[in-house]
A and B are shown apart, each in its own frame.
Chain A
Amino acid sequence: MTAARPLRQPASRQGLRVLRGRQAKLRPALAPWMIMVLIGVAAFLGLGFARTSLDKSAFELDRLNRAITEQEAMNEQLRLEIARMENPARIAPLAEELGLVIPQDTRQLLVDLGGPALVSNDEGARQ
């Protein structure tokens, strides 16, 4: 039979101290940073895109303005062409070639209550 032995006291050593258990080091939260970076990149790309679109629309506007000017010039050319075609000096000889002549015998019709009659009365001709 053995006698119960007292519990052994831990021997205290000089220079040693108790350290608290090292807590798990907290990692910095990446997600917000990532989001911010993504937002930043997206904003940068968006800005670039907006700028490009704006420039593109300026080029488009310039192209459209030029097209309008060209169409206006063409319209003027067509008006000129019409005016040239309507020039009596061009039409009269053509009409003559086709055998058209200015009528020599002109008469005015008087529309009376009784029916038409040949007159040269001013008053009647207006009716």
Chain B
Amino acid sequence: MAATKAAAKPDRSRVRVAAIGLGLVLALLGLGFRLFQVQVVQAEELAGQGLDQRLVTRDLAPQRGKIYDRNGELLAMTVEAQSIWANPDQVEEPLWVAQQIGGLLGVDSQELLTRLESDRDFVYLKRQVEPGVAEEILGLGVRGIYTHPEATRIYPAGSVAAHVTGFVDIDGNGQEGLEYIYDESLRGVPGKAVFERDLEGRIIPQGMTDIMPAVPGADLNTTIDLPLQYQTQQACLSALERTSAESCWVVVLDVETGGILAMSGAPVFDPQMRQTLDANCDPAEDPTCHAFKNFIVRGVYEPGSTQKLITVAAALEEGEVKTGTVFSQVADILELRPDACRSADDELFGCYQDFEEHETANMTVAEIFTRSSNVGTILIADTLGQDRLVSYIERFGLGSQTGVDYSVEAPGMLNFEAGCETCWASAAIGYSVAATPLQMAAAYAAIGNDGVWTAPHIVASTTDVDGNEEVAGLETRKVVSEETAVLMQQLLANVVDEGTGQAATVEGYRVGGKTGTANKLGEDGRYTEVTRASFVGMAPMSDPKVVVAVLIDAPSYRYRTGGAAAAPVFAQVMEQALHRLGVSPDAPVG
């Protein structure tokens, strides 16, 4: 019995060994199977998953194009700034931090405290601050405060070129002016970078890298002359002070090319203060807001007597009159409807008066124009008839956009209501027509350019990242003959020499131009005593190079006329423009 037990023992151990061996074999087979599965069957999929974990894709923001003036001075550029952000969970003493950082950032501490006490894990404290400020804040060593780089748009000329460049929003999207209209060209094409990184986020050298670089935006080379732009703005600010007007607008055009040399106005705005900019802002009500209107392109007004240029040019071109044609018995008042001048709504219903009373007299076309006679001009327009008058108004570019490269240009309008019997007469003297100052400047430039109208523009060319320059084409059309244009130039010179525009004289140069004084419509639809005073003119008259249009809105009563309010501004700006362009004087000595 004992021998049997002894014989059974080795058998059991053999079984155990065999079982263990079998187990080991099965385990190895399992491992092998799994290895085969991982290394062969799923190899590609798993390798892909691993790569996905290491791969990072980053968008590469393109550099926004720069904006230059005609001399290569920078008007707008993009630089790297730092944005300050916080993780409120990590900030230990929010009140202290808000007080410390609020002062450095120029942000209200209470507002910062609200953000620092929020339950989010990412809040901006201020975006796009200068790198020095960011360093100061990081230097405080406050836990939970971080920075990250972000591009910001800077306008080195400040408010000087604001009416030209416009501005972008905080994310770099064009909102106004050139920034808006050329947004696509300036923006460039975003790139993409794909690379492998380790657990700590560092790029793995020799790892997979695929970079599609961003294409920077194109640079804009404008026709603006920055020093002239500044002088224009200064002239406007002085005019506001002198005339107590609501606003002043000036545009300077190169007669031959239609390039805008300066386009400015007052009140001014700082494009950098985009947070406080508001198109509907009334600084009298809210001193912290900034208006950013550009009346030159977007505002419409009744041009008043400056419109007479078109009426007289049309009559001359059509051969209805000559400059020496005499109109007999021209009075200072004209009724187009019986008893119209006895009505309370006389201006609206056919009663026309000259600005200054004068005795009834025979007047030539030249005298009518020089003395800016409303009655005489209506008599000239009568020789044309409404259809031909309207045709010329349209030909000179009123009532439709000039095509200037600026955001949201107003087309203006010709208000000829059906059945309106007197609208043609109103239009002849600059009422019933709504035009922009730029349209009027372009119309005068057509006369200065011997009858060829040229579309005004701000950007002369664009330069892409490879240095390829694309020059903007000029849009031109003939509006009157050269003979008519030369006659009109002589009439314009007469206005400054001996007519209503004598305050527009520029020493050393022969200047031509026309004053305009238009009453503003009140809220009740009736004309008020408040005026819009304007002057549009050109120089030198031997070969006009520059047109300047000035509009002063609601000057005080003393300065209510174009001759008193706008002509001096014109003279100041024109003198600077002629000097800047190096135009030789043409006035006879003495």
Given known A79-B74, A79-B77, contact A89–B586 (CB-CB < 8 A) = no
For the complex, give the distance between the alpha carbons of A54 and B206 in Å: 8
Task: Report A101 CB to chain B, min CB distance, Å.
Answer: 14
Question: CB distance B584 to A108 under 8 Å?
Answer: yes
Of all chain B residues, which has the CB nearest A125? B584
Chain A, Cβ-Cβ closest to B157: A87
With both chains docked as a complex, state the minimum distance between the C-beta of A48 and any C-beta of chain B, in angstroms.
Answer: 14
Cross-chain contact A80 with B585 (CB below 8 angstroms): no
Let me know if A92 is at the binding interface, CB within 8 A. Answer: yes
CB of B226 within 8 A of CB of A88, answer yes
CB-CB contacts below 8 Å: A60-111 with B: 62, 73, 76-77, 79-80, 83-84, 86-89, 92, 106, 108
Cα–Cα distance between A84 and B77 once the two chains are bound (Å): 11
Taking the closest CB of chain B, its distance from the CB of A85, in whole angstroms, is 9
Decide if A80 touches B79 in the complex (CB within 8 Å).
Answer: yes
Bound state CA distance, A76 and B586, in angstroms? 44
A55/B206 contact (C-beta < 8 A), A73-B80, A83-B73, A88-B230 known: yes
> Does B158 touch A at the CB level, under 8 Å?
yes
- Contact in complex: B79, A126 (CB < 8 Å): no
**Across-interface contacts of A36 in B (CB, < 8 A):** none
Q: Contact: A108 with B226, CB < 8 Å?
A: no
Most buried by A among B159, B540, B542, B586: B586
Q: Is B154 an interface residue (CB 8 A)?
A: yes
Query: How far, in whole Å, are A77 and B80 apart by their CA atoms in the complex?
Result: 8
Give the interface size class of chain B. Answer: 20 to 34
Residue of B nearest to A104 (CB): B507
Q: With the chains together, A59 CA to B198 CA distance in Å?
A: 14
CA distance A77 to B154 in the complex (A): 10
Distance, CA A33 to CA B227, complexed state (A)? 85
A58 within 8 A of B: yes
Whether B160 pairs with A119 at a CB distance below 8 angstroms is no
Q: Is A122 an interface residue (CB 8 A)?
A: yes
Closest CB in chain A relative to B571 CB, distance in Å: 13
Q: Are B205 and A76 in contact (CB under 8 A)?
A: no
CB-based contact B508/A106 at 8 Å? yes
Alpha-carbon distance between A126 and B74 when the two chains are bound, in angstroms: 31
Name the contact of B160 in the complex, choosing from A89, A106, A125 (C-beta under 8 A).
A89
Please measure, in the bound complex, the distance between the C-alpha atom of A33 and the C-alpha atom of B80, giving whole angstroms. Answer: 62
Asked whether any CB of chain A lies closer than 8 Å to the CB of B333, the reply is no
Interface residues in B201-236 (C-beta closer than 8 Å to A): 203, 205-206, 226-227, 229-231, 234
Contact A122 B74 (CB under 8 A): no
C-alpha spacing A88/B576, complex, angstroms: 14
CB of A77, distance to nearest CB on chain B (Å): 6
Cβ of B48 < 8 Å from any Cβ of A?
Answer: no
B588 interface contact, C-beta 8 A: yes
Q: In whole angstroms, how far apart are the Cα atoms of A107 and B396 in the complex?
A: 37
A88 touches B203 (CB 8 A): no
A4 to B589, CA, bound (A): 169
Asked if B156 lies at the interface with its beta carbon under 8 angstroms from chain A, I say: yes
Q: Is the CB of A120 within 8 A of B203?
A: no
Report the nearest A residue to B68, measured CB to CB: A83
**Contact partner, B77, options A62, A76, A88, A118, Cβ 8 Å:** A76
B353 nearest CB across to chain A (Å): 40
* B587 within 8 Å of A (CB atoms): yes
A83 proximity list for chain B (CB < 8 A): 73-74, 77, 156-157
The answer on a CB contact under 8 Å between B160 and A88 is yes
Which residues of chain B are near A92, meaning CB under 8 Å? 230, 234
Q: Are B584 and A122 within 8 A (Cβ)? A: yes
CA distance A34 to B179 in the complex (A): 75
A125 touching B585, Cβ below 8 Å? yes
Contact (A87, B584) CB under 8 Å given A76-B77, A120-B589:
no
Within the complex, which residue of B79, B230, B507 is in contact with A73, where a contact is CB–CB below 8 Å?
B79
Closest to A90 in B: B158
In the complex, residue of chain B having the shortest beta-carbon distance to the beta carbon of A105: B507
Q: Which residues of A contact B227 (CB under 8 A)?
A: 88
Least CB distance from B369 to A in Å reads 26
What string of 1s and 0s marks CB contacts (under 8 Å) between B70-82 and chain A? 0001100101100
Give Cα distance in the complex from A53 to B235, angstroms. Answer: 66
Query: Could you tell me the distance between the alpha carbons of A79 and B587 in the complex, rounded to whole angstroms?
Result: 42
Q: Distance in Å from the Cβ of A51 to the closest Cβ of chain B?
A: 8
B79 contacts A55, CB within 8 Å? no
Distance A86 CA – B230 CA, assembled complex (angstroms): 12
Q: List 28 A-B contacts (CB under 8 A).
A: A54-B205, A54-B206, A55-B205, A55-B206, A58-B206, A73-B79, A73-B80, A79-B77, A83-B74, A83-B156, A86-B73, A86-B156, A87-B156, A88-B160, A88-B226, A88-B229, A92-B230, A106-B507, A106-B508, A108-B584, A108-B585, A119-B589, A120-B585, A122-B540, A122-B542, A122-B584, A125-B584, A126-B584
**14 more A-B residue pairs beyond the given contacts A80-B156, A83-B73, A92-B234, with a C-beta to C-beta distance below 8 A:** A58-B206, A73-B79, A80-B74, A80-B154, A83-B77, A83-B157, A84-B156, A87-B156, A87-B158, A88-B157, A88-B229, A88-B230, A108-B508, A122-B586
Chain A residues within CB distance 8 Å of chain B: 54-55, 58-59, 62, 73, 76-77, 79-80, 83-84, 86-89, 92, 106, 108, 118-122, 125-126
Across chains A and B, which 3 residue pairs bring their CB atoms closest together, nearest first? A83-B156, A58-B205, A88-B230
